[in-house]
Every structure is written in structure tokens, then in C-alpha cells.
Amino acid sequence: MGMVGGGLGSFIGPVHRMAATLDGEIAFVAGAFGSSAESSRAGGARYGLDPARVYDDWRALFAAERERPDPIDFVAITAPNHVHFPAARAALEAGFAVLSDKPATATLAEALTLAEIVAATGRPYGLTYTYTGYAMVRHAREMVRAGTLGAIRKVVVEYEQGWLSRPIEQADDRQAKWRTDPATAGIGGCLGDIGVHAHNLAEFVTGERVIELCAEVSRFGSGRTLDDDANVLLRFAGGARGVLISSQISAGARNGIRLRVYGENAGLEWSHENPDRLTLSPLDEPQRVIHAGMPGLSDAAQRATRLPTGHPEGLIEAFANIYRDFAASLQSGDAGERALVPGIDEGVRGMTFIDRALRSGAQGGWVGMDMGAE
Amino acid sequence: MGMVGGGLGSFIGPVHRMAATLDGEIAFVAGAFGSSAESSRAGGARYGLDPARVYDDWRALFAAERERPDPIDFVAITAPNHVHFPAARAALEAGFAVLSDKPATATLAEALTLAEIVAATGRPYGLTYTYTGYAMVRHAREMVRAGTLGAIRKVVVEYEQGWLSRPIEQADDRQAKWRTDPATAGIGGCLGDIGVHAHNLAEFVTGERVIELCAEVSRFGSGRTLDDDANVLLRFAGGARGVLISSQISAGARNGIRLRVYGENAGLEWSHENPDRLTLSPLDEPQRVIHAGMPGLSDAAQRATRLPTGHPEGLIEAFANIYRDFAASLQSGDAGERALVPGIDEGVRGMTFIDRALRSGAQGGWVGMDMGAE
Amino acid sequence: MGMVGGGLGSFIGPVHRMAATLDGEIAFVAGAFGSSAESSRAGGARYGLDPARVYDDWRALFAAERERPDPIDFVAITAPNHVHFPAARAALEAGFAVLSDKPATATLAEALTLAEIVAATGRPYGLTYTYTGYAMVRHAREMVRAGTLGAIRKVVVEYEQGWLSRPIEQADDRQAKWRTDPATAGIGGCLGDIGVHAHNLAEFVTGERVIELCAEVSRFGSGRTLDDDANVLLRFAGGARGVLISSQISAGARNGIRLRVYGENAGLEWSHENPDRLTLSPLDEPQRVIHAGMPGLSDAAQRATRLPTGHPEGLIEAFANIYRDFAASLQSGDAGERALVPGIDEGVRGMTFIDRALRSGAQGGWVGMDMGAE
Amino acid sequence: MGMVGGGLGSFIGPVHRMAATLDGEIAFVAGAFGSSAESSRAGGARYGLDPARVYDDWRALFAAERERPDPIDFVAITAPNHVHFPAARAALEAGFAVLSDKPATATLAEALTLAEIVAATGRPYGLTYTYTGYAMVRHAREMVRAGTLGAIRKVVVEYEQGWLSRPIEQADDRQAKWRTDPATAGIGGCLGDIGVHAHNLAEFVTGERVIELCAEVSRFGSGRTLDDDANVLLRFAGGARGVLISSQISAGARNGIRLRVYGENAGLEWSHENPDRLTLSPLDEPQRVIHAGMPGLSDAAQRATRLPTGHPEGLIEAFANIYRDFAASLQSGDAGERALVPGIDEGVRGMTFIDRALRSGAQGGWVGMDMGAE
């Protein structure tokens, strides 16, 4: 595996590295880590890579690796959003599989183009929608598929942060800076950074697709051009109704992604605050609190669990599950493992969600998810 | 005090009785408890009242009590919604103060008329918006007023129940029956039963008024004509944005009313699951968990607390706080105590909220709260 | 009903009043409320009683009431501990039933004598062990009796407070003062005030009796002669082992009484922080969170619940359940309702527990619960 | 780094591997993984090691590695307890540093001997007391050291599991089998497996040493010769009192290690259920909930945190912190980093704790921690 982005100062790069190597099955051997040759070398040193496989930029990475007898088999794209599309396109066209951070691209148009490239090249493409890697999220999905809840009626998904309550990007906070700048973040601020996680989580667990939405999109931080808060009403294809709350100005909130799904017969709840727990609330019966690692869980949950019950696994492990499944699918050629790894379809849906939420916010009222990019 | 409604089979009648008499300061001495003279007598017996002051209907109650040398000084209206307006009107016109269960009336037009009657008669009128009686809700309000949160940016208020997941009104569940029947419930189903609580709670704590809303209103229970689920985007006069979630088909939910308020500097959260707790989350500082009864709380919180910290007080005590404040204001003639008891303004706002949410749900898109009843 | 104690400055007196009258079935009509005729009158005024039935002291109360045509039928003893025995003795000998606050007496010898008096007079005697009044505590007891947990192996019961961390009795805190003075509190400090609650709760729920114990008893507050902290190892008759933690110097703790019971097949947990919840944890299965008011609960739980599920009931309601059951047993002459109200046996056991814990703490090592008073 | 133990079927071996390599600073290159040459090879394959450095047993490992030009610098001992002492002794004598799983040895006598060997060889020796690796445990320690709580008065530490409720060792459960067999587990059952964790955690955070204890030690599982439950009263050198609860038959418990410390001015609580949280409860002030990754935490906490606040880190990361600190101390020769890694002193204390608890349990009553091994 090689990496694009994730150099010095990156938060998510080291998470990708830890996740990729946690299970000892993926070798991280090459990369291009920055906007200059110098910063790339510094990044390579951070990861202890052979300097010969640390490249000045991702163009050089793909060009050189494809000529090696022992090239990387896939590339992890961890750079800011505006790099996702060109790097993924180049990687795919050079023959490499791609595992990209979300959102898939900076704009919806890019995502649609990327979908064509994935189809044309036939190379595997995955997205690290982190929360889909948690064992209990996967178990929730299995419970819905098994019909435990009955027909889904209502979905409430929230992702609340407070760290952008103040315009810290003006004080040169590196993480805030690129996320609030359209040149690097793309069309979505909060929506692109965390709203897509919430949208994906809701669809991943329920298997239902959002078909219409109505959004209120706001900018509270002074001087911001991108959204930092969005509240969205959702309509799902199967008739369910929903609410998506996404915010980076919810003062005091840390990283609170939480999902509630209500069916005809039962509700379920998962919260990132206690990711190894899942609550099932059948009508008129005691709530069941299900813990990762306990007997009787679905295969999907068991395969995503490394430790006995009661031993917390966190975000790095969830991330590692995505890496493991993606790598396994490359080995097997079988999409089996990869069924759980979001791909380009989810990428296009995510960008459509951002695009439509912004449009709804701008014009007021409901918009469809299937209007195309125009 | 006299009571209208609350006879055999009523859930809320006994809550009113316990709340009214908890502190030993209000005598419950008269009432009209049912739809027939017989059922009224049965209700009077339930409460152990002197049969001479148990009346065939509320018309008789007001007519007789006003002639007594020792009449009741106020009447509690606990009957289903369609009785609220005619009984309140008659009581006020007979010279009695009124403490009514919510919603104020069955329709917005009735509420507007009632406001005129309250103004014309000059008689005190209060509404038992239960959750405003909790000590920690009152403390939350004080914290907002004191500026602890800074300018309010976002409000998320939820009221989730699951007990109407199935159409139990068709199996003659008494509580379900009148709440799902427009003839007794009025224009709102879930919105009138619990949505107004959520709306009121948000305005009570923040001091901000909803000026526009955009709602999705649903009927999931087969055969229902009234809503049993509503999700609403909110805009507040001061610029804050919000979400209101109200549901009676959230399977497995019990009675989960919960409020989150985010300001520029801090967020707060209160949940009915642990009503004697309040969480304040200042930016970049540890969360503070504030408990009822601890030293240093606001006067408003202290006056609403009977027990030392760590000794749970529940819904009956919250209800009793409203009764106590309302009764005290009758004694003192001073609106001081009554400032915390919602009145006809809140009643009109609640009915406007229901009316506008239904309108928005029907037509799609945003509607204002100030259009008048038309 | 009449009351002894509970005058101005009393915390528990008003709790008894609210509890006694909550359900409208018990009339509170007489009392002796203080250490002087004047303070008694002030107390009677506090409760709005007919001054003719407010007596100078409890001797006068019993003497006068027994001569009335409409005497009280029972007396609630809410004064500090040293009054429990003489007042209960006099009441019983005057023919009145007694419902006393805990602990039963100030010393074990008094308790043994009181047991003889109860037997000799044949009058009903009950103890307000508050926590036995909670619906979910009663349901826990039913689950153990039904064999849901299998044979009991381990019991962990804690009662943690922090309010005596500092010697506030020296600053004239009224509640602290009498509880830290042997002349008013009796032999136990923390053990008598809250340790007996923990001991009773463990035996009430499990139906198992402590037969041996080994205690560490401490005094952390400067100048204290009575214990303010105790940790106790327990052995139960049926072979279960246990731990009892009782403290009033656990800084920051409010009123944390909590019980865990582990059987061969399942564990259960109840905590006063969320008294309307009960967690059952069967081996290798999801935890079940059981809520008061939900369908399918035991009769014992249903009878102790006034509100629908999700509507919190607190300490006053728990207390009221004890009053209601005690009063019902007086009416019916049937011990049925009273089976759930702790009586003189539990009183003697509580005083034995204090006595033995102090002895064990003083001498080190294990002592039996059946040695007699000596 | 090399490893002893941790072959196929081991739970803890892979945890050590993941922890050691998580930060990319430690190379895991050699090992001896089983009781036979064949099983060792299978273990080596599991970890993808060069077969040339997978040895038939640990004797061969140390003998061969010391002759290499690029030997391992330390060995991680992850085999069952009976291997800890001989393998550690051999490693130290061969010149390797040792990072051992707990308990240090199988008997107290072994631990005392090992302490002499550590002193004689001068080689670094560390113990993976997992819970000391959590950022918030380290922050708790810093708060105590900074005097935030004042003088410590009371410590309650619990470690509850339920997985040995039934004698699953008789059904050949591998993990249960060696832990319940004195030949592999040593003198302690539950005490050696998890009791030492609880004891260490209490001393690590408070900086106070247990000087006397009084234990009840039980065997509930049929056919067991080692303890599966222990409740222990503690006395600390500084005057604090404590309770340690350790159980593997607490049916329904998962892996509940939890610490409460009460000082003169405040209490703190940490629980493994939410390891990235720490609650500080100052007297008469709101509770503070402190989260890993938030601003203003101690250096010790910051260095043990990889992710922004709200992104859960779990047991593997805690383990990795111990590895990282141990490895850093080997590099720097400075004990600075290692101050946080428990060493042979803690190992001897842990074995003394087990020994004394068993003695106290057998004879009843209090025993000292300083009696020597005898």
C-alpha cells in the first residue's frame, strides 16, 4: 500500500497508517506526503519508509510504482478533499486500486466523472466511511436486514461537533483552515466533513436510500463561506422519514455521531460515545443492550471484533476493519468482503447529498436526490 | 380548587390532584368529572370529595360554586382537548381563574378567542406545561438569561414516544382513542399531545421565539387521520436555528423529552430520563454536571426543589411546582410567581405552532408563525 | 394519622407528610412536633393542622388521642433516632399502630425490647426503609424470588454520600448535628443513618440474611465520635458473599445507593440515580433494561407505580408506597400488603447489623449476627 | 522486539503485537510461541515473522538472538503465568530487557527472586498493567499528585467479570483452562488474573500503598481449586481506607474495572466502560466530566492520546502506550518515560497482594503486606 497525503500536520494520515497496519496484513511501503518534495520527504520519514519509495508528488508515485516489480497494490488517499479526485483518477488510470478518505471528491461533477473512471478502469475503489467499520454498526445493519425492526419508519442521525464554534481558521488552526476553505474542502463545509458521514451511516444501517431532502444550511462562524451547521429533513425510498443534524458549532459537543432507527416493531440506537454498545428496544419489552464480543452476534460483527467483550475497541480499530475488508477483497477478487466497504456509489450519493442540501438550503424547500448533476 | 375532567379512566386527573395537594397549600374541594352525572359522581368518589360539590357537568360547577360563600378560587381543566376552550371560557366568564392542561384549545381560532376572553375578564389563566416545572429546566432558563451560553445559535428539542406504534385506538385503548380522534384531540395528534411540549420547552428555556418553521408531518398508524410523527426545522427571532422532533411511533421510546441548546460559548443539555441533572458544556472546558439540590443554584431552581441533592423528584413534583406558583400568584396578586407559569400567550403560540406545522407539512416548505389565524 | 417529630427544620418530616397524603387515602390530623410546646405549635402550623390536635409532646398526643371518638389510627415517628424507642413504646402501649423512620431504635438493646413490646401489644409496627418503596426494587425482589438469577452468589450494596466530608456539625448544620451526636443518633453514625438502608436493601431484594460480617469502621471528620465511613464484608445464610460500602465522606457523592446481585445465571443492578430502571444481565445474553410502568412487570411493581413508563417517580412516591401499604394493612387486618413493609424483625436486624459492624470494626475480624445483645 | 508465548489460541499475544507495532516505532521480529517447536512455528506464521527468527522455545530464542549482530532489544512475555518467571529470568540473564504480562510470576517467592535478578542484571523490566496505559487513568494520577483531591481518604476499586460463572474450563475453554489450573496460573485465580490489576490501578492512581488487608476469597465454580471471587478491605499507608472487589463469577458483568478515589476536597471516578472519560466531583460544586483529547490536560494524558477528543481509543491503544513508554526508556536510558511503566516493585507488590489476600481469606482477619515471603 502507498499513501497520498497524510504528511506532517495531518491528523488523519497517522490514523490511516495505524489502521492499515494494525492487523499485520498490509505493508505500508510508499507514498507522496505533501505539497512539495521536501514536505513529502518529511512525511516519509515520519512513517519510517524507505526514502526510495517516498515520492515528490502523487504523479511521481504512480509513475514509479507501476514500473516496479513489486508495486503497491493500492493507494490510500488521505489528502484534503480537493486532491481526492485528481489523485484517485490518476491512480485508477495507472492501474492501482484506491481507498480514499471521504468525501469522494470536491464537487458532485467530479464524483460523477470518477464513477465513470471506476467503471472504465475496473479497478476497485473504496471509501473510508469510518463509522461503517464499527462492529456494532455492522450488527445494527444485520438486524435491520434480518427484519428485527420490521419496516423502517423513522431515522434520526446526528453528528455534532463544537470545535468550529469560533473562527479558529483565522488563527491558523491547520485542521480548521483547509476545512473552511472552498479551494481545499470543496463545496461542503460541515456537510462535506461530517454531514456525509451521517448520511452514509443512515443509509448503511437501514439499507434505505434518501430520495428527497429539505435543508437549513447555516454559517455561524464570522467570515465563513462554507456551511458550519445543517439540519435536514429526509425522505427515504421505502417511505421512512428522517432527520439529519450536522454541526460544527454545537459548543461543547466533541464528536457525537449517533443513529436512531425506528421500525414497526422495534427501535435501535447506536452512539459513538459508546461504540461497542447497541441498544435494541422492542415494543413493550425490555430494552436489550448488546455488547461487541458477546456470544450470538452476527458474523459481520464478529469479524469486526478483535477483543473479548468489555474490552473497548475504538476508532482506529473501526478504521482497520475497513482496511482489512478492502485488502481482503483485493486478494480474493471476490466482492464479498468488499460489500461492507462503501464504494463509488456511496461516493456519488454522498456528493449528491451535499449538493442537494446546499441547494435546498439556498432556495428553501424540498429537493430530490435524483436530479443529476446538471 | 375545583377540577373539570379527570374522572375514572383518566391518567392525568390523578396527576393534577397529587400535584395540587402535594405541598398541602391547595384544597381540592369540587369538580365535574365526566361526560354524565353518573360518571362525574364516580369521579368525585375517586377523589373522596364531598358529594355536594361534585357536579353533573362543568356548567353546573361554575354556576353553583360562584354562589357559595366559600367558592373555589380556580379550576383545573384536565379533560380532553375539545373541552379546554368551552370550559375555560365558562370558568373565566364566571369569574374563576383557570389552570388548564395543554394544548390550550382544540384549534388556533379558539385560542385566539380565548386570549380575548382572558384579556376581557382579567382573570388569571395558566397552562400546565409539565416540563417547565422541573427545577433543572428552570435553572437552564436562568443560565441562558444570565448569558452563560452567549448568543444562542442552535436548539435541538425532541419528544419521542413509541406507544402509538400500533393502532391501539382500534382496540379501545382509552388514552389512544381520544388522542387520535379529531373530535376530542383537536387539530393536532402527536403535535398537539407532545409536540407543543417540545415547542414550549425550547422557547421557555431559551427565551427565543420561533418565527418560521418547515415541517414534515406523518401518519404511520393505519387508519389515522391525525399526525403521529412530525419533524420540524425551526428559525428563531434571534437568528438561532433549530430542530424539533416529535413522535409517537418511535418504537421502544418511552417518554423521551430532551433539549439541547448551543450558544456561542457553551452548550447545555437536559433530558427527562434524568430530570434532576443538567449538563453545561463550555467550549474547551470540562463538562459540568449540575444536580438539583446542590449549593449555588439559582433561586428559581431552589424554589422548585423539595429534597436534598441526590434524592430524585419526578413528574408529580414538577407538576406541583406549577400548581404552587400558580396558586401563589393568585394569593399575592403579583405576577412574580406566575412569570414561570405559562399563560395564554404561550397557549396561543402553541396552537399557532401546531397550525403552522400542519400547514407546512401539507404544502411543503417554510411558513411563518405570525400569519394570524386567517 | 399523627406525627411525632418533623417540626420546623426537619427535612424528613415534610417528606413523611407528602408521602402520607399523596394518594389521598390517609388524613394527617394530629401531632407533636418538637422539643417544646412552642416548637410543636410552630410545627403544627407548618402542616396546617387544627391547633386542638397539636400537642405539647408525644406523651400528650397519645394520652389525648386515645380518648377521642375519632382518634388517629397510627403514628408516624419522624424525630431523631433517640426518640424512636420511647415514642414507639408509648404509642404501642397506648394502642396505636406505629410507622417509624429508621433505624428502629438508638441501641440494639432497645430494639430487642421493642420487639417484645410489639409482640405483647399485638399492634402493627412498620419501618420506612425508603428504598423498599421503589417499584423497581420490588420488581428486583420478585425476580430473585422467581428464580430468574438462580442461586445468589454475590451481593454488592453501596450507599455513598459526601456531605459530611467536612465537620459541618461544628458550624451548626442542623442535619449534621444530630446525626453526629451519640445522644441523638444512637450507636451508629453513618452506619445508623445510611448503612442500615444498604443492609436492609440487600436483604429485602435477595431474601438472604447476613449471618457474619467483617467491618472497617472509620471516623474521618475531625472531632467525630461516631463513624462516618464503613466498609463491610458480608456472609449470607445461603452461602452468598457480599460487600457493603457505606460512607458520608465520599466527597462529591450525593445519595448513591446502589445494589448489584449476582446469581448463577444472571446479575441484576439497581441504582438510585435512575430509580425507575432495573438492569438484568443474563449470562451470555444481551442486558435487559426494565423500566417502571412497562407491560409485563410483576404485580408488586405495578402496584407501586402511578405513572406511565418514562414518567419519573421519585423518592416521595417511593415513600408513599410504604405509607399506602402500611395503611392498607391496617384496614384489611391482612398482612398481605404489609409483607412488603419492613417491620420489627427488620428493625432488630438493622440494629444488630450496626452493633456487629461496630464490634467488628473495634476488634478486627469476623463477627456473627446471631450473638444476641449480651 | 521478540515475544515469548502468544501463539495460536492466545488472546493476549495478538494484543501485544498490535500494541507494540501500533505507533510504527517497534519492530516485532522474533519469538518463541508455543509449547512445541511445531506450535511455535505456527505462531510465527500467524505473525508473519521470518522463520529464521522463530525459535523452538524461549531458551533457543535468547541463545540465538544474543549471538546475532542485530538482536532484539527486549522480549515481551505473553505466555501463561507459570512461564513468566523462568522466561524473564533467562531473558534478563541473557542481557535482554523484559516487558512481561502480569502477574509478574506464579508465586511470591518467584517474584522476590526475580527482583534480585533484575537488580543484579541491571536490565530494564516492565509489566503491562493494561489500565495504567489509559490517558485518563494517567490524568487521574496527575490530579491526585497535584493535590486536587486533598488527602486521600477512601478508595473503591472493582474488577468484575462473569465469564467464569460456569466451570467452562471443564468444557475445554482454553482461556478458562489455564487460568483455573494452579500449574499454569500460579497461586491466584481471579486474584492473579484481575485482582492484581485492581490493586495496581488503585496504587498507581493514588500513589498510596496498601499496608494491610482483610479478604474473603471464594470458589463458586464447581471443582475449582483456585479462587474465582474475592472481596478485600484495604488499609493504605497514608491512612486511607479502601475496598477491592474482584470477581469472575459476577454473572452478566463483562470487564468492569472501575476506580473511585475520595479525598478531603473532591472525588474522582474512572470506569473502563468509558475509558476516555474521567469524572471529578469537587465538594459542593458541579461534577466535571473530563474527556481525553480536550485542551488543558496534563502532559501525561496528552502523550497517551493519539486522536482528537470524542474519537474513542480503546484497550489496544492503552496497551500501546505502555509499549511506547517502555521502548522510549530503552532508547533514552532515561527512566523518565518508564516512570509510568510498572516495574519489578509493582510486580512484587502484586504477588504480595495475592499472597496476603489468600492468607487472609484462609485464616480470616487482617494481615500485613510487609511480612515478607516467609
Q: How far is D150 from chain B (nearest CA, A)?
A: 20
Helix (H), strand (E) at residue C114: helix C108-121
Give the pLDDT score at D11: 86
The β-bridge partners of D252 are none
Q: What is the 3 state secondary structure string of C17-69?
A: HHHHHCCCCCCCCEEECCCCHHHHHHHHHHCCCCHHHECCCHHHHHHHHCCCC
Average pLDDT value for residue range A293-303: 96
CA distance B29 to C229: 49
Whether D190 and D229 have beta carbons less than 8 Å apart is answered as yes
Do residue C286 and residue A280 have CB atoms under 8 angstroms apart? Answer: yes
Q: How far is C23 from chain B (nearest CA, A)?
A: 7
> Judged by CB atoms within 8 Å, which residues 146-165 of B form the interface with D?
none
Q: Which residue of A has its CA nearest to C292?
A: A286
Contacts across the B-C interface (CB distance below 8 Å): 96
The residue behind cell 392542561 is B101
DSSP C168: G
The β-bridge partners of C146 are none
Do residue C316 and residue B309 have CB atoms under 8 angstroms apart? Answer: no
**Which one of A136, A277, A287, A294 would you mutate to disrupt binding with C, by most C Cβ within 10 Å of its Cβ?**
A287
CA distance D58 to D5: 9
- Which residues in chain D touch residue B291, judged by CB atoms under 8 angstroms apart? 286-287
Average pLDDT value for residue range B51-66: 97
**Which one of D143, D283, D287 would you mutate to disrupt binding with B, by most B Cβ within 10 Å of its Cβ?**
D287
The residue behind cell 477478487 is A333
CA distance B192 to B131: 15
Which is it for strands B210-218 and B97-100: parallel, antiparallel or unpaired?
unpaired
C243 contacts chain A (CB < 8 A): no
The residue behind cell 390550550 is B104
DSSP A209: -
| Option in A15, A255, A307 nearest D310 (CB) | A255
Least confident of B166-175, B297-306, C336-345, D342-351: C336-345
Task: Provide the Cα torsion A47, A49, A52, A57; round to 10°.
Answer: -30
Give the phi and the psi of residue C101 in degrees, each rounded to 5. -70, 165
Task: State the chains in contact with C (3 or more Cβ–Cβ pairs under 8 Å).
Answer: A, B, D
Whether B345 has a pLDDT exceeding 60, the answer reads yes
D283 contacts chain C (CB < 8 A): yes
D198 contacts chain C (CB < 8 A): no
- Which residues in chain B touch residue D290, judged by CB atoms under 8 angstroms apart? 286
Whether D193 and D176 have beta carbons less than 8 Å apart is answered as no
The residue behind cell 434524592 is B311
Do residue D284 and residue B295 have CB atoms under 8 angstroms apart? Answer: yes
Residue A181 binned pLDDT confidence (cut-offs 50, 70, 90): very high
Given phi > 0 = left and psi -120 to 50 = alpha, else beta, which region is D115?
alpha
Residue A337 binned pLDDT confidence (cut-offs 50, 70, 90): confident
Do residue D364 and residue C366 have CB atoms under 8 angstroms apart? Answer: yes
Give the pLDDT score at B35: 83
Helix (H), strand (E) at residue D196: helix D196-206
A238 contacts chain B (CB < 8 A): no
Give the pLDDT score at A280: 98
Whether C8 and C32 have beta carbons less than 8 Å apart is answered as no
Which is it for strands A74-77 and C277-282: parallel, antiparallel or unpaired?
unpaired
| Option in B216, B241, B283 nearest A218 (CB) | B241
Average pLDDT value for residue range A48-58: 96
C245 contacts chain D (CB < 8 A): yes
- What does the mean pLDDT of chain B come to? 96
CA distance B310 to B294: 9
Give the pLDDT score at C26: 95
Give the pLDDT score at D371: 59
| Option in B165, B263, B282 nearest A264 (CB) | B165
Q: How far is C365 from chain D (nearest CA, A)?
A: 4
Do residue C294 and residue A288 have CB atoms under 8 angstroms apart? Answer: no
Question: Which of D242, D243, D239 has its CA nearest to residue D230?
Answer: D243
Do residue B22 and residue C24 have CB atoms under 8 angstroms apart? Answer: no
Question: Which of D372, D370, D371, D358 has its CA nearest to residue D214?
Answer: D358
Give the phi and the psi of residue C157 in degrees, each rounded to 5. -130, 135
**pTM across the whole model:** 0.97
Q: How far is A269 from chain B (nearest CA, A)?
A: 10
CA distance B121 to C145: 60
Helices B12-21 and B315-332 pack at an angle, to 10 degrees, of: 60
Task: State the chains in contact with B (3 or more Cβ–Cβ pairs under 8 Å).
Answer: A, C, D
Helix (H), strand (E) at residue B269: strand B266-271
DSSP A101: P
E strands along B107-255, which residues? 125-127, 152-160, 210-218, 229-236, 241-247
- Which residues in chain A touch residue D309, judged by CB atoms under 8 angstroms apart? 254-255
**Which one of A158, A255, A290 would you mutate to disrupt binding with D, by most D Cβ within 10 Å of its Cβ?**
A255
Which is it for strands A2-4 and A30-32: parallel, antiparallel or unpaired?
parallel
Residue D345's contacts (CB-CB under 8 Å, 6 or more residues apart) are: D115
Do residue D364 and residue C364 have CB atoms under 8 angstroms apart? Answer: no
Give the pLDDT score at B361: 98
C287 contacts chain D (CB < 8 A): yes
Q: How far is C12 from chain B (nearest CA, A)?
A: 9
Do residue B310 and residue C254 have CB atoms under 8 angstroms apart? Answer: yes
A294 contacts chain C (CB < 8 A): yes
Question: Which of B198, B177, B277, B184 has its CA nearest to residue B244?
Answer: B198
> What does each C-alpha distance from D361 to B296, D216, D325 come to in angstroms?
47, 5, 37
Question: Which of A343, A370, A321 has its CA nearest to residue A88?
Answer: A343
Give the pLDDT score at B374: 46
DSSP A108: H
D219 contacts chain C (CB < 8 A): no
Task: State the chains in contact with D (3 or more Cβ–Cβ pairs under 8 Å).
Answer: A, B, C
CA distance B268 to B288: 9
Q: Which three cell numbers stand for residue D368?
A: 500485613
Do residue D287 and residue B285 have CB atoms under 8 angstroms apart? Answer: no
Do residue C289 and residue A286 have CB atoms under 8 angstroms apart? Answer: yes
- Which residues in chain B touch residue A264, judged by CB atoms under 8 angstroms apart? 165-166, 251
CA distance A115 to A125: 9
Whether B258 and B202 have beta carbons less than 8 Å apart is answered as no
Residue C264's contacts (CB-CB under 8 Å, 6 or more residues apart) are: C149, C150, C151, C153, D165, D251
- Which residues in chain A touch residue C288, judged by CB atoms under 8 angstroms apart? 286-289
- Which residues in chain C touch residue B11, judged by CB atoms under 8 angstroms apart? 307-308
Q: Which three cell numbers stand for residue C3?
A: 406525627
CA distance B190 to D51: 68
Q: How far is A359 from chain D (nearest CA, A)?
A: 30
The β-bridge partners of D290 are D278
Residues lower than pLDDT 50 in chain C:
373-374
pLDDT tens digits for range D299-351:
999 999 999 999 999 999 999 999 999 999 998 887 667 789 999 999 999 99
Do residue B296 and residue D285 have CB atoms under 8 angstroms apart? Answer: yes
Sheet holding B125-127, edge to edge: B30-32, B2-4, B74-77, B97-100, B125-127
Query: From the centroid of its chain, how far is CA D362?
Result: 25
Do residue C286 and residue A284 have CB atoms under 8 angstroms apart? Answer: no
D254 contacts chain A (CB < 8 A): yes
A258 contacts chain B (CB < 8 A): no
Per-residue pLDDT of chain D (374 residues; tens, 9 = 90+): 999 999 988 889 999 999 999 999 999 999 999 889 999 999 999 999 999 999 999 999 999 999 999 999 999 999 999 999 999 999 999 999 999 999 999 999 999 999 999 999 999 999 999 999 999 999 999 999 999 999 999 999 999 999 999 999 999 899 999 999 999 999 999 999 999 999 999 999 999 999 999 999 999 999 999 999 999 999 999 999 999 999 999 999 999 999 999 999 999 999 999 999 999 999 999 999 999 999 999 999 999 999 999 999 999 999 999 999 999 999 888 766 778 999 999 999 999 999 999 999 999 999 999 855 44
Prediction ipTM score = 0.96
CA distance B258 to B269: 7
CA distance C254 to C115: 34
Q: Which residue of C has its CA nearest to A309?
A: C284
Residue B92's contacts (CB-CB under 8 Å, 6 or more residues apart) are: B98, B117, B118, B121, B123, B125
